[in-house]
Chain A
Amino acid sequence: MSRTVTPAVPPTPTPTTGAASTTGAGAATGAGASTAPTGRLRVRRPWRLAAEASALVVAVVVAFPLYWMVLSAFKPAGEIQSTEARPWTLSPSLDSFRRVFEQQEFGRYFLNSLFVAGSVVLASALIAFLAATAVTRFRFRFRTTLLIMFLVAQMVPIEALTIPLFFLMRDTGQLNTLWSLVLPHIAFSLPFAIWMLRGFVKAVPEALEEAACIDGASRTRFLWQILFPLVFPGLVATSVFSFISTWNDFLFAKSFIISDTSQSTLPMALLVFFKPDENDWGGIMAGSTVMTVPVLVFFVLVQRRLVSGLGGAVKD
């Protein structure tokens, strides 16, 4: 409920932020609470500056691997092979990217990855929405049991299920098809999606449903024309997780797409550039960049909803 109050964190410095930090710093002086405001300011400044400086340093350190990845992708081959690692390049080139896209049908793998992740996001969002509505809007037998089962299902180490899933896919003839990646990922993203969406569905007031009912809307109509748009932000936040876990999937892609490489996804394509004698770092970094950018874009687009969604999922 209080989720709506939770400030969407990064871009908007809300007035409460200022108030909180003032009171916090006021308390920092502790015993010196009686000193004049100017004195307090003088004490506070260096501390805040130190905090801000360290925040910036941490930000640089955290962002450095990504910067290095993009930088190395643009570096000409000679500079990458050199033993002095310079943090800039004067002659950026697209050679590594060209090599990546020429070799191994990288574009096709990209589309495969996109198809798998897209199908999983759509299917699991719809299925999870229905299920979350059922467990929040209705009281029925085994409701609590089901909820606990969803929680427990999140903890199942899906990697351990590779073995039985491999045989399941083999027996149903799905090996080497993209469906062998789509189907398990729908199943594995559902429990968390349901658990997270629960908070969003709960936040829609019951009175709205009664009002809709009085106005003569059927249950189906309420579900799709009223509840669905209201829960949509939550669906987006939830989708981030299913998108990422699917896009990043490495184990299933490695285990289920065994002989038909036209059905491979990006993570597998990346490993092609690892060679026993000498790794093609330029190619690896360019491939990594291509693989990371869509997720970054997706993340930046939905980050505000993500943060508020997390707050809600954790609190409700």
Chain B
Amino acid sequence: MKHEATAALPKAVPEKTAPATAPAPVPPPVTPPERASGGRHGSRWTPWLYLAPALVVLAALLVYPIYQLGLISFLEYTQAQVSGGEPTTFKGLGNYRTLFSDSQFWEVLLATVVFAAACVVTTLGVGCALAVLLTRVRALPRLALMLAALGAWATPAVTGSTVWVFLFDPDHGPVNRMLGLGDFSWTYGRHSAFALVLFEVVWCSFPFVMVTVYAGIKAIPSEVLEAASLDGASQWRTWRSVIAPMLRPILIVVTIQSIIWDFKVFTQIYVMTAGGGIAGQNLVLNVYAYQKAFASSQYSLGSAIGIVMLLILLTVTLVYLRLMRRQGEEL
């Protein structure tokens, strides 16, 4: 605005000094439309200007790699093509055919789904139960639990994994001593290894659920709860008919986030079971794709597994969007 004012001033001055000359009336009709169109122009492009850095980064480092991932999954792409200079050949759906006829792939897929489901259910159960517990206790125990949970939340996945492996170490760990398990090795058996990883995953992901659900419960206006108790609602009834429906949006978010995180577990499996367990017994899709690509140089098979994961998670996302839509949430 200041700019426009100063720009208009010199134009007005010559106008006054030379009132009789012919070109004087010309400038005024030209400037106003120019100014107006400039303003409209600005506001129409401003959002895109603000969005530009984000879009450039996302296009280069997210969209383009996804496209590449899809492309590689259709090619013959192994060590020979990467460093041997051999020409890449188009294989169509060949990689997927190889993958789907491999019984190990189906086994890993099943293990991933079951493991993720177990993690999600346990995390949500523990998180919600503790959130309710938090509303029932005074400040000091609440602070203690909150701080402990924040500590677990903040712990990096790598160090969390190393610590949990150490806790359950057959020779030097305290857990086997406490439970009197002797030198039982948790990482040796398939189920016990998965259970160990599950403990760690739940430990580091329940705090998010607990804190979010607790914040959700606290955000329920106390008048509503008072009204319910005045109407003679029992505690169970208050939970079922007042609190649960109000928490629904939060529960949906938390569930979907957990599904996505637990489906993508990589670090914990990789560190705790040393890259997928004995003979690959603890592989999940993510680690499987990584091993296929970087350990055995079958980049196209690894990419095909990545695409399968992408499609599964996309389906979950679409369900999420559907649920949000149905609740009439405005974007």
CB of A19 within 8 A of CB of B222, answer yes
CB of B62 within 8 A of CB of A140, answer no
Give residues of chain A (45-78) contacting chain B, Cβ–Cβ below 8 Å: 47-48, 51-52, 54-56, 58-60, 62-63, 65-66, 68-69, 72
CB of B313 within 8 A of CB of A157, answer yes
Give the residue of B135, B216, B263 whose beta carbon is less than 8 angstroms from that of A314. Answer: B216
Give residues of chain A (206-220) contacting chain B, Cβ–Cβ below 8 Å: 216, 218-219
Q: Is residue B195 within 8 Å, beta carbon to beta carbon, of the partner chain?
A: no
CB of B174 within 8 A of CB of A157, answer no
List A contacts of B234 (CB < 8 A). 27, 30
Q: Is residue A121 within 8 Å, beta carbon to beta carbon, of the partner chain?
A: no
The range of chain B's interface size is 35 or more
Interface of A is mostly: helix
List A contacts of B160 (CB < 8 A). 65
List B contacts of A147 (CB < 8 A). 331
Give the residue of A6, A168, A281 whose beta carbon is less than 8 angstroms from that of B68. Answer: A168
Q: How far is the CB of A240 from chain B (nearest CB, A)?
A: 9
CB of B212 within 8 A of CB of A311, answer yes
**A253-271: contact bitstring with B at CB < 8 Å (1 yes, 0 no)?**
0010000000000110011
CB of A155 within 8 A of CB of B316, answer yes
Q: Is residue A230 within 8 Å, beta carbon to beta carbon, of the partner chain?
A: no
Interface of B is mostly: helix
CB of B148 within 8 A of CB of A270, answer no
A134 to B50, CA, bound (A): 6
**A20-52: contact bitstring with B at CB < 8 Å (1 yes, 0 no)?**
110110111010010000000000000110011
CB of B218 within 8 A of CB of A163, answer no
Q: Is residue A104 within 8 Å, beta carbon to beta carbon, of the partner chain?
A: no
**B36-55: contact bitstring with A at CB < 8 Å (1 yes, 0 no)?**
00000011101110110111
Give the residue of B142, B267, B303, B320 whose beta carbon is less than 8 angstroms from that of A164. Answer: B303
Give the residue of A127, A154, A248, A300 whose beta carbon is less than 8 angstroms from that of B57. Answer: A127
A184 to B250, CA, bound (A): 29
Q: Is residue B118 within 8 Å, beta carbon to beta carbon, of the partner chain?
A: no
**B194-236: contact bitstring with A at CB < 8 Å (1 yes, 0 no)?**
0000000001000010011011101100100110110011110
CB of A9 within 8 A of CB of B218, answer yes
